[in-house]
Structure 1
């Protein structure tokens, strides 16, 4: 893993050039904020949230924050010089001062250090910044007095406003008696909150439960009440999935969030995302356009040829993206947007699509003007989309969080089951019971409507455990189930370091419990579905990069293996509509007609899709699980499964 500085770069109050400072009201410099990762550590779940497993581990990030006001260079927490906890050292560790220097920031230029609490991974490296003034809550200062000896220190009891009110240190307690958070108010009304150890991870934030390591549970719980308003944007203390380095860098600039990778779908890509800011300062279209063009020029200057760029945009940056696209056709190959700005509604050209690109026949499937909705986007790894035939609720798994969740229009996202066996693919049966592929327990299981386990349908074959069932399809008459069994190892919870099976294939489970291996020559099967008449099975071979079709006999055996389509890239889940079109997930949702001809692509605002299904009252809503989010788009066609009105 390559350690780099920038995880999240936020414009906190308006617009300014990418590499420079600008000035706004009262000529106040506008800050730049980075979250800096200096190591990783595997922590037992029971230290992250109450009731977590002692055996299961989550990889957390060791973080501090760097803020540049121009005249002041500030650290919020400073990390530690060495890390040793629970008898182990951190992985990918780099000293915080070395990390800063590596990225062109001289440690001696740091003017201020704001400390959330006295624990070593937050204050241990303070000596690396000898000229900085330290701001710390009084009780925490007493616990850290050896590190503070001879330093310029400012203490406080409950609250301290700094730098003309541009930053606020506020005691919240809980984790430690004087634990503080840092609030950074924006001109548009939003407030960024650097949480320290008041909130470790998405598990704590989404479920609104304190970290397990708390000295005062009531104060820890009060944190979530205080910062429940959507105006607060929480920067987590130990974000487990913080995507530093490689293709995972996220960068927020002046009201535009650019999501990488830049290599994507056989070409280069920019995705300009709405960061959620609704203030006037975050909606300067011309500046947003300039930033998009600047990013495009940076990408074109990189090695790898001069092919044009795919441009995607969502929310309040769509208008800027359209202007950039039309102004510089020499830079962009195609444009997809998630919203229709009023200024160009009705005058949209054939070159501007809404998350439906590459393929005129996609007009058969998605009405012009439809757009992708975001149903939720705070998950670790969303998967297993399926619709309850009784309630109509969408169910999906977040297998890294070991949860099954449900969504409907009225209630939003709710927890259905945890722990869930690290479930991946799921499928509702007509009676409302739920088929679930448990990668954590290496089995195919059946759940009752209330989430309780009904029974294990298949645990292994030939005296061996399965590698980890991934996706499942039921024959239309309910007489048996097909599932894929690839092998994906997750160091946090996988039972096996190597595949327990000697091959990765497809299995069929009969209603009486017989397990049959029905393929023998696939590389790594993943997605699976079948036709409504139950006569054809489709299997996506992820590593083989092909989708195969099989004929199904009355006993469930497969024959007449034939190539359905040569995908050309790895694919994940799939679903089918009533007319036999296949929807396959990968970097996008790729749509194929029943003859294996590719019709086009539906894009979502992420760089990977894991699974999809069709549901809704009229069986015409395509639900898609991305890596971090769950999305929907209305179709002109109907799916096979749904629910009665």
Structure 2
């Protein structure tokens, strides 16, 4: 499939957590410490300030917005009045910055974390995924994950699929009725799982580094490959069926399907993901292309 990318917005620090809702894109910008909405024409409006760095976004059944606050490993809730308030404390369960999130139809939030200090080049360590229930309680639901990152829930609400950035894979879980996770299985394997060790050595072994992702109506997942400057459409099992390359000199760190027909693919791009580079620059951008198969599932 030939794709033509068009720039939607530039001048960001590091865009992440893209979502489509109410006719517009929603996006976190790490080092601007803000959440924005962006119209299909590229007009941006700040809707929240998060001094401790926003990441994953999702909505509760009452339409209030949940925002992952990365540096203090908390969830914040923004009501329809626009006021931000504490919602859940994840710090006891996170081995590094809190990261991406998917919220299901029941209002349960599934949140990952780095597991180690990525920005200081620590060696990767396994970590756990947590579930935050509508009362704000936090429950660990899966462990031994290598940087649980972008996550999706299938349209029937029965399967959670998590990208493991430092494991060359995406892992699926059955969601039980009580919110526990059942059968654990590999949804896609892109290469051998690296042995834990120095981060630089592990990076060299990673064929695909799953970051932000979304599902389409044919059961494929579009996933940002954080180490290789591309966005991939992946079939269960790991076959790469389509690829969209980032503009020259940029990486892709998240993606989302949206638009009026669900066929607009949004890419979050930046030259790299290092805080020491991104915090002082305004080089992040959003790009859009049209694809054939529309969005499905959550987020």
TM-score under structure 1 length normalisation: 0.38
1:632 corresponds to: 288
- Aligned: 1:537 with 2:170: no
Aligned to 1:394: 25
Cα distance between partner residues in 2 of 1:582 and 1:530: 11
Q: 1:623 aligns with which of 257, 261, 266?
A: 266
1:473 maps to which of 99, 102, 113: 102
In structure 2, do the counterparts of structure 1 residues 504 and 424 end up closer, same or farther at CA, with 3 Å as the change threshold? same
Change (3 A) 1:600 1:618: closer
SS in structure 2 of the partner of residue 414 of structure 1: strand
Q: Which residue of 1 aligns with 2:251?
A: 608
- Structure 1 residue 564 displacement after superposition: 1.3
Q: How does 1:309-328 map to 2 (within 5 A)?
A: none
Q: How does 1:303-342 map to 2 (within 5 A)?
A: none
How big is the shift at 1:640?
Answer: 2.4
Shift of 1:429: 4.4
Structure 1 pair 544/482, CA: closer, same or farther in 2 (3 Å)? Answer: same
Structure (1 or 2) with the greater helix fraction:
1
Q: Is the 8 A contact 2:72 2:91 kept in 1?
A: no
Preserved contact between residue 443 and residue 466 of structure 1 (Cα < 8 Å): no
Structure-to-structure mapping, 1:94-173, within 5 angstroms: none
- In the aligned structure 2, how far is the partner of 1:505 from the partner of 1:580? 26
Inter-CA distance 616–432: structure 2 relative to 1 (3 Å threshold): farther
Answering whether residue 219 of structure 2 is matched by residue 580 of structure 1, we say yes
Q: Distance in 2 between matches of 1:488 and 1:377?
A: 30
Residue 449 of structure 1: how far off its partner (Å):
4.1
Structure 1 pair 471/561, CA: closer, same or farther in 2 (3 Å)? same
Distance 1:617 1:430 in 2: 22
Greater Rg over alpha carbons, structure: 1
Alpha-carbon deviation of 1:518? 1.3
Displacement, 1:467?
A: 3.0
Higher relative contact order (CA 8 A, sep 6+): 2
Structure 1 or 2: more strand by fraction: 2
- Residue 512 and residue 592 in structure 1: after superposition, are their counterparts in 2 closer, same or farther (change >3 A)? same
Contact between 2:152 and 2:297, CA under 8 Å: does it hold in 1?
no
Mapped to 2, the partners of 1:430 and 1:631 lie a distance apart of: 30
Give yes or no for the alignment of 1:522 onto 2:150.
Answer: no
Correspondences of 1:41-60 after superposition (within 5 Å): none
Alpha-carbon separation, structure 1, partners of 2:133 and 2:48: 27
Unaligned runs of 5+ in 1: 1-362
Deviations 1:467-486 (A, max 9, x none): 322111122x3241111121
Structure 2: stretches of 5+ with no match in the other structure:
191-206, 271-283
CA distance in 2, matches of 1:429, 1:626: 28
Is the CA contact 2:150–2:163 (under 8 Å) kept in the aligned structure 1?
yes
Cα deviation for residue 430 of structure 1 reads: 5.5
Q: How is 1:69-84 mapped onto 2 (pairs within 5 angstroms)?
A: none
Task: Find the counterpart in structure 2 of residue 547 from structure 1.
Answer: 170
